[in-house]
Structure 1
Amino acid sequence: MKGSLSVPQGAALSIGAVLGTGVITLPSLGVQVAGPASLIAWIALVILSIPLAATFATMGARRPDGRGVSAYVDDAFGSRAAGAVGWCFYFAVPVGAPPASLMAGAYVAEAVGGGRTTAVATGVCLIGGVGLLNAAGLRLSGRVQLALTAVLAGVMSVAVLVAAPHASTALLTPFAPHGIGAIGAAAALLVWGFAGWEAIAPLAGDYRNPSRDLPRATAIAIVVVGVLYLALAAATVLVLGPGAAHTDAPLSALLVAGLGGPARIVTAVIAVMLTFGAMNAYFAGGSRLGAALAADGALPAAFAKGSQAGGIPRRSLALLTGLALASLIANEVLSFDLTQLMLLATGCFTAVYVLGTAAAVRLLPRGGAAWWTALIAFVSVCALLVMNGPHVLWALGAAGASLVYRAIRRETPVTTTLQATDQSCAEEASPAG
């Protein structure tokens, strides 16, 4: 695809990278955290997407590099910081997989019954199934991934349209039942649905004319993603009202409001397919990243097997799968709220954004429009990281652990082997966003 990517194709890939599994549950979680005021958090994140996506588009157009964020972080701050980005991504996967799988499980439980038992069983099957699929060397094609995203966008549109006649502005009151401060907490959680803008940069070299086409494709993606998210969030608040906080399947509830009960089965099937595809992308990219880190001494050498071109990183994959299942079990045994693991994952995504935008601020010509845009994005994502609260310790711990491990091992920088891996991670993944 090098040099052949058109603006519509690039926009579709960028939209696919951002739209993800979070949208099937996030609207109700936003209401749960902040009530109707969660709409402000949605609007704020759509606005934040403009400088954030524009920054990655600018960096990609100026220096097309398949490593994407890690390349800019390496150039700006060195290999240790680039390695920290790798650890943040790798250890976001096992804490992000349980919430993603349980979101799909909620739709299955809504359709067939069984409550929490059905949801957890679905989660175990999804995590185990994705692990086995990748261990066998199989994977869903990019076209299938993109088709699944197109289906999701279609379902979102239909849900909003059929539920719209049932909307009522009276459901906007009380607007902030949990206080204004809850808007920040909701924003930190909703980052899950916006992870994926970093995928713009690695695609730059595939455009026919990166400096012209990349900004256009990015602009289209921002508009489409913003409209879909805001429409769905508004429909959830105006149609479901306070009841949205008590359902784990808002898309299903909206479709049922407009089409009736049979819509539950359809949305359950779509939710499982979408989640499987998104998790497959993250496990495939994450396992290769882990093997690459191990090959360069940033993880124990035992996990490096399969890091070569065409290899299957089964040991790294087994680690990810085992950690994901352990996270799911811990979530059930300790009765964590679904949002807790999501916040751990979004903290990692936000940390990657902080390092990426900081690199842009350092590398772009100071004082120019692009530099100011990057600075705005950097300040905004730093604020999001703070709003993540104590959950940011997972991201900081992963970054810190990478530095400690490198200091102990005294090995060579990790960025060389990460080139192909980071590109595949960015292009394939976004179950959050």
Structure 2
Amino acid sequence: MKQSVVRSIRLPQAIALYVAAVIGAGVLLLPGLAASMAGPASILSWIFDCLLGIPLALTFAALASRYPDAGGVATFTARAFGSTTGAVTGWFYFIASIVGQMIVPLTGAYYIADTLRLGRDATFLIAAFILIIAIIPNLYGLRVSGRLALLLSACVALMLLIATLISLPRMRAAHWTPFAPHGLPAIGQAGVLIFFAFFGWEAIAQLSAEFSDPERDVPRSTLWSVALVTILYLGVAIATIGTGTYGTLALDRVSVARLLSDALGLGAGTVAAVMALVISLGTVNAYVAASSRLGYALARDGALPIWLERLDRQEVPRRSLLAIGVVALLGLGATYLLDWSAGSLLSIPNSLGIATYVVGTAAGARLLAGLARWLAAASCLLCLAIFFFAGASIAIPLITAALALLYLRWCRRLPDHNAPDDVVES
């Protein structure tokens, strides 16, 4: 009998998983970095990227509710452009997710190790610990990991909201002048920098098959999440600028944590460490859940080794989950041995993530209809524009595509499906 995943995600868990996938450890860095780069005018960059995230989120929500499957974006692109394109896109996102599961816990570990004055060895051990802790609840299915996501997302939202509210009395109009000290180019550069804070809308597509009612709850959870993420991001950006909590590299790294620490009477490093731990755990928990489903679906469809297709008695893709965890842990070990940092790995998921967005939104422009089609087309053009800023890292998706095609040619397992003609009515 054909195995399939269990539908257990309800609306609160869906919103929590979305928020955890989108709000990563970058929220601790980006408000200060963007403000230092563009001055108070960086708020325009935040507003632009928040608006840009809306059509992206709605496009993936429309596709996920229409085609709920563990393959997520790989399934959409296979339906739009054929199974080979779907498999290559799946590889883009699968590799980006695994590398992301190295970067996120390592970023959180930096904050914790810095506060405790620990060395490099301890930093990588903490990163491995965060990754393992995020994997364990996923072994018991989304009913368990979804509850963890709900708890962690609530903590993250509460901390960011408190950081904004307690900063209101300390905001000064003088901190908003001069408004654009570095000119229009800096505003654009800040927009490119913080665009990566909006990755994550595509992650939940892999979990859509496990929504109790995907047709209803995917769009609803997307709208709630877009509103929540926008409020939290704009809130901390306004608070950072309005209080002048930026300007040096050391301060930029803990700007959001400083907003909390100044009111609570704690050290900024301590607050940053706690926030980093909660945020990184939540993000890794969401991405482990999503990427393990994608690995299962790619194996099912012939784009990865078939032994990853197996589900356990609880219908959890445990083999895929454990394989991803082992690869990510080995990747952390290699990063340690090669003396790399989280920043040195960032171009891999960034370039692959943008490539995934380009192909996924192009699939939306083909499969959807009415307003949804126009939103997908607009998102695709905007992602293409951003892709040109990728520089030399544009080679990463090209190399990944070549490896995927070589694997498919070697295995000859991928069925030759034609793109369907069905579209979604608006």
TM tier relative to shorter chain = 0.7 to 0.9
Task: Name structure 1 gaps, 5 residues minimum.
Answer: 416-433
**Which deviates the most, 144-153 or 377-386?**
377-386
Counting only pairs closer than 5 Å after superposition, residues 363-402 of structure 1 correspond to structure 2 as: 363-365=367-369, 368-402=370-404
How high is the TM-score relative to the length of structure 2? 0.80
SS of equivalent residue, structure 1 residue 406? helix
**1:249 maps to which residue?**
254
Give TM-score, length-normalised by structure 1: 0.79
Of 218, 222, 226, 1:218 maps to 222
> Matches of 1:60 and 1:297 in 2, distance apart?
21
Match of 2:208 in 1: 203
Q: Deviations over 1:232-289 (max 9, x none)?
A: 1121222244436433222321112222225643542342243134324434654665
Aligned residue among 410, 414, 422 for 1:412: 414
Task: Give, as a single letter, the amino acid of the residue that structure 2 aligns with 1:271.
Answer: A
CA positional deviation for 1:347: 2.0
The residue aligned with 1:122 is 123
In structure 1, the partner of 2:168 is 164
Alpha carbons 1:58, 1:370 under 8 Å: kept: yes
Q: Which deviations, in whole Å up to 9, do the C-alpha atoms of 1:195-253 show, x marking residues without a partner? A: 22124545377355825x54443322211110100111121222244436433222321
User: Are 2:263 and 1:258 aligned?
Assistant: yes
Q: Deviations over 1:320-365 (max 9, x none)?
A: 32223323554x45xx6x5553343222222211111100111123
User: Does structure 1 residue 57 correspond to structure 2 residue 61?
Assistant: yes
| 1:229 to 1:305, Cα distance in 2 relative to 1, 3 A | same
1:17-416 residue pairs with structure 2 within 5 A?
17-113=21-117, 117=119, 121-127=122-128, 130-131=131-132, 134=135, 138=139, 141-176=145-180, 179-199=183-203, 201=205, 202-203=207-208, 206=211, 208=213, 210=215, 214-243=218-247, 245-247=249-251, 248-262=253-267, 264-283=269-288, 285-286=290-291, 289-290=294-295, 293=298, 298=303, 301=305, 305=307, 307-310=309-312, 311-313=318-320, 314-327=322-335, 329-330=337-338, 332=339, 339-365=343-369, 368-413=370-415
Contact 1:195–1:349, Cα closer than 8 Å, also in 2? yes
The alpha-carbon distance between structure 1 residues 101 and 36, as it changes in their structure 2 partners (threshold 3 A), is farther
- 1:379 CA displacement: 1.1
RMSD: 3.5
**Counterpart AA for 1:254:** L
Q: Distance in 2 between matches of 1:66 and 1:297?
A: 14
More displaced 10-residue stretch of structure 1: 317-326 or 344-353: 317-326
Give the whole-Å Cα distance in 2 for the aligned partners of 1:294 and 1:183: 43
Cα distance in 2 between the residues matched to 1:57 and 1:45: 18
Give the whole-Å Cα distance in 2 for the aligned partners of 1:15 and 1:241: 25
Residues 400/146 of structure 1: CA separation in 2 closer, same or farther (3 Å cut): farther
Report how far residue 131 of structure 1 moved.
4.7
Measure how far apart 1:414 and its partner are. Answer: 11
**C-alpha spacing 1:214/1:342, structure 2 compared with 1 (3 Å):** same
2: distance between equivalents of 1:290 and 1:158? 38
Kindly provide the amino acid, as one letter, of the partner of residue 68 in structure 1. G
Unaligned runs of 5+ in 2: 1-5, 313-317, 418-426
Q: Residues 216, 309 of structure 1: CA spacing in aligned structure 2 closer, same or farther, 3 A cutoff?
A: closer
- The 1:293/1:222 distance shift into structure 2, 3 A limit, reads closer
CA distance in 1, matches of 2:40, 2:410: 49
Which stretch shifts more, 55-64 or 69-78? Answer: 55-64
SS of residue matched to 1:243: coil
Mapped to 2, the partners of 1:137 and 1:370 lie a distance apart of 33
The amino acid that maps onto 1:220 is W
Aligned partners of 2:167 and 2:259 also within 8 Å: yes
Q: Larger deviation: 86-95 or 199-208?
A: 199-208
In the alignment, is the contact (CA less than 8 A) between 2:43 and 2:238 conserved in 1?
yes
How many residues were matched structurally? 401
Partner SS, residue 412 of structure 1: coil
Q: CA deviation at 1:111?
A: 3.1
Measure how far apart 1:292 and its partner are.
Answer: 6.2
Q: Deviations over 1:43-64 (max 9, x none)?
A: 1111012211222222234444
In the alignment, residue 225 of structure 1 is paired with which amino acid?
V
Shift, 1:76, TM fit: 0.6
Q: Percent identity?
A: 35
